[in-house]
Structure 1
């Protein structure tokens, strides 16, 4: 039954507690689950959501076989509720002094970047800002739904993403990660031709993966039809298959470190790059904690490997050009 707006609510303003209840119930899929996560009673959440629905004049949540989900109006409200909660939290973050940072910094990243690019920056950041707790999430996990989505929805504060058409986010360029052809060592190091890739079994990650999409677009753009494509979600399995002579693959160089025995890497006939960047919501880019982490990451990426910088990859088959990595 639709709720009628309160006659005295000329300009209704929800409280943060009401918005937090709506977001919590939606994310948890139910009132009891959300109450357990927040450490409050189910009746407290029900009352908060009920008052919010009174202000809105219509239901915002509905119970169904799959749990509690937003109504059409609830779905429209949800993004604004998340933004309001984030803005309220950012008020206190903005008031912090750069040398007295506190709180939690949530970072989403591809596994390869998290393994090879982020650790030196995290060490330096923790030494400089011990009051900040860092949470590192896998941007390819279902909970994130992709780094860009995680930043937009407020699940994380910053994310390492591929710098494509993301005009709604502020992007700090990090590195150009080159895709390499990977084959058994017995192949030899003669140059790769496009036709060779189509003549063998090609192992790639699942079709929803950003690397799969990027590689497939590259090959389709060169007129290559993938008739012998095998998908697998584990890089280690793919590389083992290739090492045993069952096919070839194409991977970013960061994902190939350290290169397992029995494999060689070679440049593609026409370079294919994965331009990595750090993404943040524009209105949050200058928050002291985000600014401090961004500056630390850029400093460590530009530092020589022996001076605390990351061990930028030097793949077999061709020496890496450091100028292409910054």
Structure 2
């Protein structure tokens, strides 16, 4: 039996194969579908099978885990905190991607194997719809900006403007068609219908935003806490202090799932304008806490994610009266 550790990064995957108590030379692959296919090909030919261990690293490990699972390979995805404690117990002096991959291979060799359970196929399909819609929406926005620039320049031929308008129309048709397929998928499955009803109970979350949110949230492990959701979205504050001279204001880390972060932006903005309790919280952060508008909006996004976590966990719809105690401040 071979034991394999894979250190997952944004762009690279470092793999170490351990056999008979010894680590083989580390190999590096790109964190793309081609890189995943090469890893599958390498491990599929190992006689006696292989146990693969990788760490749950935000959004970057998921596509690899799906590829390994589809190939029928033995995979476990360890909690980052468990991996950290194991690393500390070994008292390793160096920390590199190669070292981390080797320790994960050792983890697979010595610790009880807990097979990773892949999310339901329908949830993965929903995520595929949501991400394609998000990509097309960005392309449409970029093309609209190009059209605005073209219309401002009289020297640009009309045919170029017409082609650009047709591109925008084409993107809109694609988005609408994919949205309809996603909604049909949700309507066909009771396990998707109820979460959809729950998230759309928030004033500011309509069909499009609900598709985006559920596509990213439903693939997450059931035991993840609300703070882990926040960190997964990259909405956790990052502090920058060094000695007594460097002390910058905290900013969101953005070290997480950008799809989820973008999916939360418009719902938070709409809720801050339309829901009286969310608006009161937003104004309280600006008027009483001295936050800038964007900082306050990020705080609303973070708290809204906390609320969605509780709603899905307890199978209840949104109760805006619990979002903020309006008695604490004067409502503007």
Shorter-chain TM band: under 0.3
TM-score by length of 1: 0.24
The structure with higher relative contact order (CA 8 Å, sep 6+) is 1
TM (normalized to structure 2)?
Answer: 0.24
Bigger helix fraction: 2
